[in-house]
């Protein structure tokens, strides 16, 4: 019998590694997801997000490391993990020749749930009641994602793993799914959300991990990662020289370049002093303002090749 000690984390990943031949897709990855958190799992395309999620769910055999979910080691107690976890990996996948309702009934049956009312209730939760008897193959992308969300809720799991739940959706569909996720998060479940929508993650998530090329770049509460409410964008002539000056100041925790601007993490009350110091040093300060898109800036800073891609796109 497996003895389970849950601790403060719903998910604990230690030294997780996956290789495909000579290519290391996930390289000694370690991070933890606190209970009840909405955890953003970010990285550019090919960073290893889906492979990591696949290993968490037993879909991809790891080459090394451990994954514990609710204290259960997935290698020894995968079924215990899966009964407590609902997940969408890549796209929601259902039988195209069956209705949404029948597909959901199949997921319920596989989870050992025979309650038809529960299926109806889930269809209602995701707003699919009217189209529940139409074949899945005829669903729009938004309806497929909603059915996917309904399927992860079958059996009332405590951990939801959602891999790109808003991909392929128009802005209205994205907003709809985001609202659903926010409502789910309010129920006290732990949610791990992998997404390219950085604004969505910044809005919804309490914690975040950013990975790049299979390695963890940073993890922690989102406010710590992005310096939320304490980030200032400074527009100044000779920004590289200004950066050196700002890094030497005790009231600046962190300073870095972001395009032609300098971004500093500091107490907002120090903004006036920072401005004065720059002016006294002979710099022309033409902009100083709080940053609202810090997660995107942090993401681009940490994921080197994502930045290259962004530059290429701009060119």
User: Interface with other proteins by CB under 8 A: which residues?
Assistant: 50-51, 54, 57-61, 78-79, 82-83, 85-87, 89-98, 102, 106-107, 109-112, 151, 154
The CB-of-214 to other proteins minimum distance in angstroms stands at: 15
The CB-of-83 to other proteins minimum distance in angstroms stands at: 5
**240 C-beta neighbours (distance < 10 Å), count:** 8
The CB-of-56 to other proteins minimum distance in angstroms stands at: 10
- CA distances, 49 to each of 25, 192, 196, 216, 247 (Å): 9, 11, 11, 10, 33
**157 C-beta neighbours (distance < 10 Å), count:** 19
The CB-of-70 to other proteins minimum distance in angstroms stands at: 14
Of 25 and 288, the one with the shorter C-beta distance to other proteins is: 25
Of 52 and 303, the one with the shorter C-beta distance to other proteins is: 52
Of 85 and 190, the one with the shorter C-beta distance to other proteins is: 85
Which of 25, 41, 32, 19 has its CA nearest to residue 68? 32
The CB-of-173 to other proteins minimum distance in angstroms stands at: 20
Of 71 and 221, the one with the shorter C-beta distance to other proteins is: 71
Q: What angle do CA 47, 48, 54 make, to 5 degrees?
A: 160
The CB-of-176 to other proteins minimum distance in angstroms stands at: 22
* 163 within 8 A of 87, measured Cβ to Cβ: yes
Of 98 and 273, the one with the shorter C-beta distance to other proteins is: 98
Of 43 and 227, the one with the shorter C-beta distance to other proteins is: 43
């Amino acid at each position: 019998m497996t003895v389970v000690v849950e601790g403060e984390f719903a998910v604990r990943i230690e030294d997780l590694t996956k290789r495909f031949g000579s290519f290391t897709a996930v390289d000694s990855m370690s991070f933890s997801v606190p209970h009840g958190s909405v955890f953003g799992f970010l990285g550019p395309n090919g960073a290893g997000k889906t492979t990591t999620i696949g290993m968490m769910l037993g879909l991809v055999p790891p080459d090394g490391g451990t994954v514990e979910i609710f204290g259960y080691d997935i290698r020894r107690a995968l079924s215990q993990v899966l009964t407590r976890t609902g997940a969408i990996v890549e796209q929601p996948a259902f039988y195209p020749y069956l209705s949404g309702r029948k597909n959901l009934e199949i997921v319920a049956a596989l989870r050992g749930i025979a309650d038809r009312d529960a299926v109806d209730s889930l269809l209602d939760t995701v707003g699919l009641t009217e189209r529940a008897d139409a074949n899945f193959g005829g669903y729009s992308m938004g309806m497929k994602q909603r059915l996917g969300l309904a399927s992860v809720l079958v059996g009332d799991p405590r951990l939801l793993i959602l891999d790109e739940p808003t991909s392929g959706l128009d802005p209205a569909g994205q907003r709809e799914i985001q609202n659903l996720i926010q409502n789910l998060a309010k129920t006290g479940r732990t949610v791990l959300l992998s997404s390219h929508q950085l604004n969505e993650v910044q809005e919804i998530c309490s914690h975040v991990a950013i990975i790049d090329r299979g390695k963890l770049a940073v993890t922690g509460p989102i406010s710590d990662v992005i310096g939320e409410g304490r980030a200032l964008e400074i527009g100044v002539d000779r920004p590289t020289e200004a950066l050196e000056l700002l890094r030497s100041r005790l009231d600046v925790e962190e300073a870095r370049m972001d395009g032609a601007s300098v971004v500093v993490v500091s107490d907002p009350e120090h903004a006036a002093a920072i401005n004065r110091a720059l002016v006294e040093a002979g710099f022309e300060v033409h902009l100083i303002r709080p940053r609202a898109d810090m997660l995107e800036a942090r993401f681009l800073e940490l994921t080197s090749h994502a930045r290259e891609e962004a530059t290429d796109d701009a060119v």
